[in-house]
Amino acid sequence: MISQLSWKIGGQQGEGVESTDRIFSTALNRLGYYLYGYRHFSSRIKGGHTNNKIRISTKPMRAISDDLDILVAFDQETIDLNAYELRTGGVVVADAKFNPTLPEGIDARLFPVPITSIAEDLGTSLMKNMVASGASWALLGLPLEVFNKAVEEEFGRKGPAIVEKNVEAVKRGADFVLELAGGPLEDFRLEEADGKQKLFTIGNENIGLGCVAAGARLMAAYPITPASEIMEYLIKKLPKFGGTVVQTEDEIAAVTMAIGANYAGVRTLTASAGPGLALMMEAIGLAGMTETPLVIVDTQRGGPSTGLPTKQEQSDLNAMVYGTHGEIPKVVIAPASIEDCFYDTIEAFNVAEQYQVPVIIMTDLQLSLGKQSCEALDYDQIKIERGKLVKDAPPLEDNKLFKRYEFTEDGISPRVLPGEKYGLHHVTGVEHDQEGRPSENSVNRLKMMDKRLNKLNNLYIRDGLRIDAPHETPDLLIVGMGSTGGTIDEARLRLEKDGLSTNHITVRQIHPFPTEQLTPYLEKAKQVLVIENNATAQLASQIKMHAGYGEKIRNLLKYDGNPFLPSDVYKACKELN
């Protein structure tokens, strides 16, 4: 019996790769397995090789595996491109239609199944996905009833005849492959899972849910990979809560519309990727200067320019931290797990209102789009904190305006919303006095700058650093961010077996940088390895700039468009020691 396994389905974009994966993993999820998915796709909608890979495990496992156990191929190209990943003794289930062959030197079992012709026999080649997933399921020796339940759920709306056809497709795929293989593969028998169905979702949807929970009721956005799922989720959900999503003409409109809506009192977000973030920069400065709460999600993808729009990267850190002209307070939060995507979104809205600043939620493509198991989300942790928002302000002295930018001890001023009877004030991106009126007075200027820039002095979000430090003085401290945590932890297990002691810190509060909290761990580590998906070591630069320890810090960088594999991390750590 094995406790984990990797499965991949590949073919041409648009021929059912996604749906095969969806139905197969939904059924696995019903059995209680932990799943972690990775989508390899390109910007084309039809045509071009695409594949989805999932990790199936009895324990939480949040990394793509180094190798592959089962490859399901809709075409020869899938085999040619992916066979090298197969472990010795792996399996290829391929459509018999194209007379599949294995490349030379690949030691795997090949099961040609007439996927297309079974589907066509049943009426439509669209059912290829059922045949393929049914065959995969049967090879693993998993209970067919559970799979059929999943099929029923997927097609129930379309009526019993459709369900029946699909169930039949599954059965024929299963029967055919079992005949070829002589029964389920004994070496691929998974230990039983806990039977508890997990949440199975993507980061973008958890962000969407986090928005609804946080009380966000408006979103303004312009579509872009890999952010669009957030708006697509919210346009389905917000109307029920009185809100809506506006697809704007560009990201400048999106962010400024969000600023207007936040100014008027509705928690509003925008979401984009690097190209859109670049367009938002001037407006982010306006939010900072006018102390207007604002939440922006940046789902990072391969840059620069259009770069690798459907590939993994973490290269917008500098843009998020330094972007916009002049100097403003700003927060950058980097969720590091699927659950974080939910909780951090709520926190982002709270921080934005409590500190009256723009907050950027930084994800990366793998975290935003990789479908994976998610722990139960806790309703009781949803807290809406609106900071110094004043309702029913008392009357003001004659001709006086509300001191929207009043100097206070913590630099945060009371805020009223338009519509408030005694709250009139002015808001401008021009330097202004306490009532918001333009002012070039240099004494006022200094006080206002200091007020704004010192607001975040004491900010430390929930798990600003996620610390896993079992060793007092580890051989190695590994530091990462975003989606890389699971990969790093998997490599650490192997390193521990080799006798190398490691601590792992995930930086979740990217800006303002949590220097004080990180320093003791840097101090005690013999060496530090900073792991990030970019070419210029942007996270490592933050650490060196704020905390020092440059002499101990080494980099592991990957910017070929692919997420790190556990073996990448393992090798890099071994090479250091």
By CB under 8 A, what part of segment 185-204 binds another protein?
Answer: 197-201
CB 503 within 8 A of CB 523: no
**Residue 420 engages another protein in binding (rule: CB under 8 A):** yes
- Which C-beta is closer to another protein: that of 383 or that of 571? 383
CB 355 within 8 A of CB 329: yes
Least Cβ distance, residue 321 to another protein (angstroms): 21
- Which C-beta is closer to another protein: that of 88 or that of 399? 399
Rounded Cα gap, residues 9 and 92, in angstroms: 10
Residue with tokens 């899938």: 78
**Residue 350 engages another protein in binding (rule: CB under 8 A):** no
Q: At residue 327, what are phi and psi to the nearest 5 degrees?
A: -125, 120
Q: Which one of 428, 441, 454, 536 is in contact with another protein (CB under 8 A)?
A: 428
Least Cβ distance, residue 151 to another protein (angstroms): 16
Rounded Cα gap, residues 281 and 287, in angstroms: 10
- Which C-beta is closer to another protein: that of 67 or that of 375? 375
Least Cβ distance, residue 202 to another protein (angstroms): 9
- Which C-beta is closer to another protein: that of 87 or that of 237? 237
Residue with tokens 């999106």: 254
- Which C-beta is closer to another protein: that of 159 or that of 395? 395
**Residue 372 engages another protein in binding (rule: CB under 8 A):** no
Least Cβ distance, residue 147 to another protein (angstroms): 16
**At a CB cut-off of 8 Å and minimum separation 6, what does 440 contact?**
431
Least Cβ distance, residue 350 to another protein (angstroms): 12
CB 231 within 8 A of CB 297: no
**Residue 456 engages another protein in binding (rule: CB under 8 A):** no
Cis omega (within 30 of 0) on the bond before 474? Answer: no
**Residue 384 engages another protein in binding (rule: CB under 8 A):** yes
**Residue 209 engages another protein in binding (rule: CB under 8 A):** yes
Residue with tokens 């004043």: 390
- Which C-beta is closer to another protein: that of 379 or that of 442? 379
CB 425 within 8 A of CB 436: yes
Helices (DSSP H) in 61-127: which residue ranges? Answer: 76-82, 115-121
- Which C-beta is closer to another protein: that of 428 or that of 473? 428
Least Cβ distance, residue 374 to another protein (angstroms): 7
Judged by CB under 8 A, the chain residues 241 through 280 that form the site for another protein are 241-244, 246, 248-250, 252-254, 256-268
- Residue among 389, 323, 329 nearest 358 (CA): 329
Rounded Cα gap, residues 94 and 72, in angstroms: 6
CB 393 within 8 A of CB 416: yes
Judged by CB under 8 A, the chain residues 272 through 331 that form the site for another protein are 282-283, 285-286, 290
Judged by CB under 8 A, the chain residues 465 through 524 that form the site for another protein are none
- Which C-beta is closer to another protein: that of 237 or that of 471? 237
Q: Residue 558 corresponds to which amino acid?
A: K
**Residue 44 engages another protein in binding (rule: CB under 8 A):** no
**Residue 415 engages another protein in binding (rule: CB under 8 A):** no
**Residue 234 engages another protein in binding (rule: CB under 8 A):** no
Pairing of strands 108-113, 218-221: unpaired
DSSP state of 376: P
- Residue among 507, 503, 513, 504 nearest 548 (CA): 513
How would you classify residue 484: left for phi > 0, otherwise alpha for psi between -120 and 50, otherwise beta? Answer: alpha
**Residue 448 engages another protein in binding (rule: CB under 8 A):** no
Least Cβ distance, residue 343 to another protein (angstroms): 13
